[in-house]
Amino acid sequence: MRLTVTHQTVYRFDEPMWGVVQSHRLTPARTASQTVIDWTVSVEGGTSGAAFRDAAGDWIETLTVRGPVTEITIDVAGTVETEDTAGVLRGHRESMPPRAYLRPSRATTPDAALAALAEKAVEKIALGDTLAAAHALSHAITDAIAYTPGETHAQTTAAEALAQGKGVCQDHAHALIAAALCREIPARYVAGYLYSAADEAMAEASHAWAELYIPDLGWVGFDPANACCPDERYIRLGSGADAAEAAPIRGIALGEGQEALDVSVAVEQVQQ
């Protein structure tokens, strides 16, 4: 499938800032399931800094905008050829060992309810069948947290989302990571894009899911929000322990002004 992406992020400040420094994880990952045909990231008035591939295999670019700054617009556009690999991450080079993802973050720390959900989900799974356990955990999160926009926020934890039984893709991913950690399965958060046809319920073009590490298979993606593994509709940007660590844009603004953020993302299929 050939997909085009247009992604614009606008930061506005109510008072001029002295300067802004950001790191961008806005370039699709190199994997067997996706090939970048063309891709651009532009920031008017921005000065590019270091660019490198981190230990997780993600391409990071740094940027500085000198003040006074009242508005920053980041435009991303490109075309990617995708292929369905049944969620298995192939051809992705990284040096981070899977065991590094056995650590919980604030967002993915499991509580008693998440531990109980994880235990119940795998009670009929044969010991050592990690792939079956991962599927069972993902299905359990799908059933436990209804996709309901507007009920959670950026700081909602996995435990909080499970307690209220509602959330969005970020909450589903955090909860699956927390459940996997209860079973000592390395797990991480993935940020990217999702193509949705007009008649599909999931319409968020900016999307998130989780990857769990399966012995003898590697990293495998699971999307509890859509009750599936990532396929040709998905474009993978990068990963981290949670949403904050995997965020496509991270940074700091120097000054006392308050920040407002507008984001628009569109993913469309190119007819070939």
67 and 171 part of one domain: no
53 and 182 part of one domain: no
125 and 206 part of one domain: yes
Number of domains present in the structure of the chain = 2
- Domain membership flag for residue 244: no
- Domain membership flag for residue 25: yes
State which residues form the domain around 183: 85-238
Strand partners, 265: 7
75 and 103 part of one domain: no
Q: Can you give the CATH number for the domain in which 229 is found?
A: 3.10.620.30
50 and 107 part of one domain: no
60 and 178 part of one domain: no
pLDDT tens for the chain, 272 residues: list them.
999 999 999 999 999 999 999 999 999 999 999 999 999 999 988 999 999 999 999 999 999 999 899 999 999 999 999 999 999 999 999 999 999 999 999 999 999 999 999 999 999 999 999 999 999 999 999 999 999 999 999 999 999 999 999 999 999 999 999 999 999 999 999 999 999 876 555 556 899 999 999 999 999 999 999 999 999 999 999 999 999 999 999 999 999 889 999 999 999 999 76
227 and 172 part of one domain: yes
231 and 255 part of one domain: no
- pTM above threshold 0.85: yes
Three-state SS string over the chain comes to CEEEEEEEEEEEEEEEEEEEEEEECCCCCCECCEEEEEEEEEECCCEEEEEEECCCCCEEEEEEEEEEEEEEEEEEEEEEEECCCCCECCCCCCCCCHHHHHCCCCCCCCCHHHHHHHHHHCCCCCCCCHHHHHHHHHHHHHHHCEECCCCCCCCCCHHHHHHHCEECHHHHHHHHHHHHHHCCCCEEEEEEEECCCCCCCCCCCEEEEEEEEECCCEEEEEECCCCECCCCCEEEEEEECCHHHHCCEEEEEECCCCEEEEEEEEEEECCC
229 and 255 part of one domain: no
- Domain membership flag for residue 35: yes
90 and 225 part of one domain: yes
99 and 230 part of one domain: yes
42 and 129 part of one domain: no
